[in-house]
């Protein structure tokens, strides 16, 4: 039996920075609120809450004397304006890679371009990007959806367009979208805004999945980058998605010898370690039971 943990599994630079800033704020300010949970990990959110950091859904829930933290996903222009209008003390933990997309769409929208966003329209990061656009915007998740937009929207392909991607967008699907867009749009600027941490994580997951009998993807069920890793792994081998190590006991691992482990960008290292150790214990017990049964058969 062999268990390989992907080197890229776990916190990315942007999440690490946001989590550090939240703990730092907890130490220095008595009232701290994050706009939405800082990461898709209930254990870490609970840990922060125990230190006085409350996750709120809406800016109106933030008291006037509290520090408000913007998480790595970023927020709309309107939220920045509201924070400024209320003179709230703010710690901006927007990932610099996301902030770069805000600048691109803001500049290109202002110059009259239509913005094409590859990503999940409901995701907070995409909502934030949308909130920095000032002109027409279209969303799509696949090359087919992009082509539908192009065919169904009169003259869109001749107008000036700017295409960006959610930072955690599926890299292969992005390539398909770029290829299709180039065929139909005559005045298009393409910005590959998928973050390098995502690219490396997806590449490593793909390679590991090809060599494994089973892939364990560790991460929140509401985390979009974890969902994409799971989707990639499933293309190559049997894969399961777990939030906690305990969930591994629900599965049957007969015939499994090579296990790969990867994790979403908001999965703490301690949970990845717990999953690795539990899996190792399960496989060891399985081996011992098998040899015991062999002995009984003799
Ligand atoms: Fe930033 Fe990339 Fe992480 S965009 S939050 S470093 S996945």
Q: pLDDT tens digits, residue range 51-85? A: 999 999 999 999 999 999 999 999 999 999 999 99
Burial class (CB in 10 A: 0-12, 13-18, 19+), 191: middle
Same domain as 242, residue 226: yes
- Distance (Å) from CA 95 to ligand 1 centroid: 6
168 Cα–ligand 1 center, Å? 8
* pLDDT at position 42: 83
State which of 158, 190, 222 marks the end of a domain: 190
Q: Cβ(70) to ligand 1 under 6 A?
A: no
* Residue 196 CA, ligand 1 centroid: distance in Å: 8
Share of the chain above pLDDT 70, in %: 100
Condensed to tens digits (0 to 9), the pLDDT of residues 222-271 reads: 888 899 999 999 999 999 999 999 999 999 898 899 999 999 998 999 99
Say whether both 272 and 180 belong to one domain: no
Cβ(207)–Cβ(12) below 8 Å:
no
Shared domain for 226 and 279, answered yes or no, is: yes
What are residue 15's phi and psi, to 5 degrees? -70, -45
Judgement on whether residues 239 and 290 belong to the same structural domain of the protein:
yes
Picking from 73, 94, 115, the residue at the C-terminal end of a domain is 94
- For the CA atoms of 184, 155, 125, 223, the dihedral, rounded to the nearest 10 degrees, stands at -50
The shares of helix, strand and coil residues in the chain, as percent rounded to the nearest 5, are 50, 20, 35
Distance CA 194, CA 165 (A): 6
Are both 74 and 123 inside the same structural domain?
Answer: no
pLDDT for res 132: 98
- Per the annotation, does 90 bind a ligand? no
- Ligand 1 atom at shortest distance from the alpha carbon of 201: 7
Domain that holds residue 122: 97-190
Q: For residues 261 and 239, what is the distance between their CA atoms, to the nearest angstrom?
A: 10
Task: Look up the CATH number of the domain holding residue 75.
Answer: 3.40.50.11270
Q: Within a 10 A sphere around the Cβ of 54, how many other Cβ atoms?
A: 15
Distance separating alpha carbons of residues 16 and 30, to the nearest angstrom: 22
**Hey, which bits of 89-223 come out as E strands?**
89-92, 114-118, 137-140, 161-165, 188-190, 214-218
Q: Are 209 and 215 in contact (CB under 8 A)?
A: yes
136 with 173, same domain: the answer is: yes
| Cα–Cα distance measured from residue 259 to residue 257, given in angstroms and rounded to the nearest whole number | 6
Ligand 1 binding pocket includes 12 (Cβ within 6 Å): yes
pLDDT at 44 over 80: yes
Does ligand 1 have an atom closer than 6 angstroms to the CB of 80? no
Ligand 1 centroid, distance to 11 Cα (angstroms): 9
Band of residue 129 on the pLDDT scale cut at 50, 70, 90:
very high
- Inter-CA distances, 253 with 139, 157, 183, 190, Å: 40, 51, 46, 44
The whole-angstrom separation of Cα 41 and Cα 265 is 10
Q: Are residues 279 and 251 in the same domain?
A: yes
Neighbours of 165 (CB within 10 A): 26
Torsion of CA 10, 15, 20, 26, to 10 degrees: -120
**Atom nearest to 13 CA in ligand 1:** 6
Split into its structural domains, the chain has a count of 3
Torsion of CA 18, 23, 24, 27, to 10 degrees: 160
Q: Which of 8, 35, 4, 45 is nearest to 243 (CA)?
A: 45
| Same domain (yes/no): 148, 103 | yes
Do 183 and 258 share a structural domain? no
- State the average pLDDT over residues 20-37: 96
> Of 31, 64, 94, which residue is a domain's last?
94
Q: Is the pLDDT of residue 297 over 80?
A: no
- The residue with greater pLDDT, 5 or 154, is 5
Same domain, 183 and 202: no
Q: What amino acid positions are annotated as catalytic residues?
A: 125
> Structure pTM?
0.86
Sheet holding 53-56, edge to edge: 53-56, 32-35, 67-70, 89-92
Return the best residue to mutate from 9, 12, 70 for the ligand 1 pocket (most ligand atoms within 8 A of CB). 12
> Helix axis angle, 196-211 relative to 224-234, nearest 10°?
30
Query: CATH number of the domain that 232 lies in?
Result: 3.40.1010.20
**Ligand 1, atom 1: nearest CA belongs to which residue?**
14
């Amino acid at each position: 039996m062999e268990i390989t943990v992907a080197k890229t599994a776990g916190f990315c630079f942007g999440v690490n920075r946001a989590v550090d800033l939240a703990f730092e704020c907890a130490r220095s300010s008595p009232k701290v609120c994050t706009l939405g949970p800082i990461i898709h990990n209930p254990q870490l959110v609970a840990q922060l809450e125990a230190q006085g950091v409350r996750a709120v859904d809406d800016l109106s829930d933030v008291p006037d004397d509290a520090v408000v933290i913007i998480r790595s996903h970023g927020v709309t222009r309107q939220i920045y304006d509201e924070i400024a209008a209320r003179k709230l003390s703010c710690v901006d933990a927007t990932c610099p890679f996301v902030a770069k997309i805000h600048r691109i769409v803001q500049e290109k929208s202002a110059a009259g371009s239509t913005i094409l966003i590859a990503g999940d329209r409901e995701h907070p990061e995409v909502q934030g990007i949308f909130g920095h656009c000032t002109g027409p915007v279209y969303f799509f998740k696949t090359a087919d959806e992009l082509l539908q937009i192009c065919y169904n929207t009169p003259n869109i392909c001749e107008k000036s367009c700017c295409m960006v991607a959610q930072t955690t967008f599926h890299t292969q699907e992005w390539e398909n979208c770029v290829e299709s867009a180039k065929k139909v749009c005559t005045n298009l600027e393409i910005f590959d805004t998928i973050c390098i941490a995502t690219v490396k994580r997806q590449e490593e997951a793909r390679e590991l999945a090809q060599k494994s009998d089973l892939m364990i993807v560790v991460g929140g069920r509401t985390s979009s980058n974890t969902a994409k890793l799971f989707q990639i792994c499933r293309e190559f081998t049997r894969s399961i998605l777990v939030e906690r190590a305990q969930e591994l006991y629900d599965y049957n691992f007969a015939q499994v010898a090579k296990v790969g482990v990867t994790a979403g960008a908001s999965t703490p290292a301690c949970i990845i370690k717990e999953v690795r150790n539990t899996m190792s214990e399960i496989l060891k017990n399985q081996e011992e039971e098998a040899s015991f049964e062999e002995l009984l058969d003799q």
